[in-house]
Chain A
C-alpha cells in the first residue's frame, strides 16, 4: 500500500472541538492522554443512530432492530480486525476500568493464598486498586515489578523477577499515562508465559498510538477505552484469548447473557455474550466504529511517524527552557511529556497556561505510587496526538515562557 499523504490541516479540520477559542486564545489541546477529541464522523455516527437507526439490539425481529444489530456486530468485527483477534474475543465494557474489574472478578473463585499477582509502580490506579481488592478477597499475594529510579524498567531484571516469583497473573501497562513511556512488553510476556502465568495488558494509553497486534503480542487479556481512541465515553473493550476469556466467571448478571433461566438457577451463554448483560451502549459502539474507520483512513504507520516527529520537536523546544526537568523517557514514548519547572507547583503553571488557551493536566495523573517512586508531588503533563500541529507546540512553548515570567 502506498504511503498516503498525512495532511495535518485537513485532519485538524475534522475535529470541531479544536476550532474554538478559550479565554480569547485559540485552544491548544494537549490533554489527549486524558481523553482524545472526536472527529466529526464520530459525532455524526452517534447523531445518525439516534436520528434514524435507534432500536435495541439482539431482540426485535423488525427491520430497525436487525439493522442496529448488524451495525453493532460489525463494530465488534472491526475492533477484532484492528487488534488482529477474533470477534468472539471482544467484550464491550463501559471503559478500561470496568474491563479490568471484569477480569479481576472473573478470577476471584480461582485465586487463593498460593497465587501471586504482579503489577508495576507505573500503573494507573485502575490497574492497581482492583488487584488490591482481589488480593484482599482471596489472600493472593500482590507484588510489584522493580522500576528504575527514572520510571523505566530494566527488562532483564523484570524478567528474572517474574520467573522467580512465578505469578498466576502479570498485569502491566502498555504505556504509562503519567510519563508516556512505552513498556517493552514482549520479553516480559515471554517470561510470564514460560511459567504459564496469565497476562493482562492495560492498553488504555497504547491502543491508539501503537495499534498492537494482540495475536502476536500473546497476552491473555487486553483492555482499552474508546474515549482515548477518538470514540465516545462510556465504552471500553476487553479482549480475551478465547479460552482464557470463556473461563472467567460472570461479572454482572441479568438479561441477554443467559442461555436458559429457571426459577432457581440459570445457564449462561458462551463468551462474549455472558459478559454483556443488559442493553449495551449501542450509540457508543457505533461511534467507536466510526472512530476505527477514521483511524483506518490515516494508517497507523503515518500516525506513528507524525506523532514521533511532533514529539521530538516538542522535546527540543521544552528542554531549551532553563529550569525545566522532564520525567518522561524521551526515546520510547507515545507522545506524553511529564515535566516541572524548578520546584514550582504544577497547579500554578497549568492554571496560568489555561489563560493562554492551553489545556494540560497537572497533578499525580491517577498514578500516586509512581509519583511516590519518583519522589514527586505531581507534574505538568502535555500529551500530544496526531491532530496537534507544530504551531500548537510553538504556542505552548511561548506561553509557557510567559507563564514562567509571571511567577517572579
Chain B
C-alpha cells in the first residue's frame, strides 16, 4: 500500500464511532481540489447516481502511471473519492491491478459504500480504473 494512502486514511481507520468516521471522510473530501466548472461536463458524469460524480481517468503516457481526478456535489462521496484517488493515483497499471479497493474499503469499515445499490458512483469509478489498467497491460 502506498504511503499516501496510509496517511490519508489513518484518521478514518482510527475513528471508532461511525459518526467520527463520516466526519473524517467529509474532512478528507474538503482537501480535494474543486474541479473547475468547464470540466464538469455531462460526459464526465458517472451515470445513474443520485449524487453528481465527475471523473477523469487517464494514463500519463510518459510515466505510464495512472492519473485520476474527480469531484462530487456531496461531501461524503467526495471524501470517498479522495480515498480512491489516494489509493490509485500515480501507480503503474501493474500496481493498479494488484490493489483491491474492496479489500481496502472493507478494512476501513466502508465496504457498504462500494455496493452497487448505493448508486454513489464510487463502485463505477473503481471498476473503470481496473478495466483501464487491465487494458493497458494486455
Contact = CB atoms under 8 A, between A and B. Distances in A.
Interface of A: 23, 344-345, 347-348, 351-352, 355, 362-364, 377-378, 402, 406-407
B50 A352 contact: no
A345 B75 contact: yes
A347 B75 CA distance: 9
A362 B22 contact: no
Contacts of A378: 50
A345 B18 contact: no
Main SS class of interface, B: helix
B18 A23 contact: yes
Interface string B44-80: 0000001100000000000000000000011111000
Main SS class of interface, A: mixed
B75 A407 contact: yes
Contacts of B22: 351-352, 355, 406
21 contacts: A23-B18, A344-B75, A345-B51, A345-B73, A345-B74, A345-B75, A347-B50, A347-B74, A347-B76, A347-B77, A348-B76, A351-B22, A351-B76, A352-B19, A355-B22, A364-B50, A377-B73, A378-B50, A406-B23, A407-B26, A407-B75
A212 B64 CA distance: 66
A355 B19 contact: yes
A378 B52 CA distance: 11
Interface residues of B, number: 13
Interface string B11-22: 000000011001
Interface in B110-134: 120
Interface of B: 18-19, 22-23, 26, 50-51, 73-77, 120
Contacts of B120: 347
Nearest to A355: B18
A323 to B, nearest CB: 16
Contacts of B18: 23, 355
A344 B77 CA distance: 13
A347 B23 contact: no
Contacts of B75: 344-345, 348, 407
Contacts, number: 36
The 7 closest A-B pairs by CB, nearest first: A345-B74, A363-B50, A347-B74, A347-B51, A348-B75, A348-B74, A355-B18
Contacts of B76: 347-348, 351-352
A147 to B, nearest CB: 24
- Most A C-beta atoms less than 10 A away, residue of B18, B22, B50: B50
A362 B51 CA distance: 9
Given A345-B75, A347-B77, A407-B75, 12 more contacts: A344-B75, A347-B51, A348-B74, A348-B75, A351-B22, A352-B19, A355-B18, A355-B19, A363-B50, A377-B73, A378-B50, A406-B19
A363 B51 CA distance: 8
B92 to A, nearest CB: 34
A145 B1 CA distance: 58
A378 B23 CA distance: 23
A172 to B, nearest CB: 26
A377 B49 CA distance: 12
Nearest to A362: B50
A209 to B, nearest CB: 26
Nearest to A23: B18
- Most A C-beta atoms less than 10 A away, residue of B23, B73, B74, B120: B74
A355 B23 CA distance: 12
A20 B11 CA distance: 31
Nearest to B23: A406
A224 B43 CA distance: 37
Nearest to B29: A348
Contacts of B26: 348, 406-407
A347 B50 CA distance: 7
B81 to A, nearest CB: 13
